[in-house]
Amino acid sequence: MEARAIKRYSKGSPRKMRLVVDLIRNRSVQDAVGILRFSKNHSADVVEKAVVSAYNNLENKLDGGRLSMEDVFVSEAYVDGGPSYKRLLPAPQGRAYRVRKRTAHVTIIVSNGEEEELVEEEIPEDEEVVDEDAVQEEDTDEEDVDDAEDAEDDQEESEEVEEIEDEEDESPLEKNEDDQKEEADYDGDEADEEEQELNR
Both 140 and 97 in a single domain?
no
Distance (Å, rounded) from C-alpha 186 to C-alpha 163? 30
Reported as a pLDDT band with limits 50, 70 and 90, residue 22 is very high
Both 97 and 178 in a single domain?
no
Question: Domain of 70: which CATH number?
Answer: 3.90.470.10
Both 34 and 64 in a single domain?
yes
Both 136 and 107 in a single domain?
no
Q: What residue type is 76 in one-letter code? A: E
Q: What is the DSSP letter of 69?
A: T
Position 150 pLDDT exceeds 90: no
Number of compact structural domains in the chain = 2
pLDDT of residue 157: 74
Reported as a pLDDT band with limits 50, 70 and 90, residue 5 is very high
In a domain? residue 124: no
The SS3 of residue 82 is: coil
User: If you average pLDDT over every residue of the chain, what do you get?
Assistant: 80
Both 9 and 95 in a single domain?
yes
pLDDT digits (tens, 9 = 90+) for 50-71: 999 999 999 888 876 778 888 8
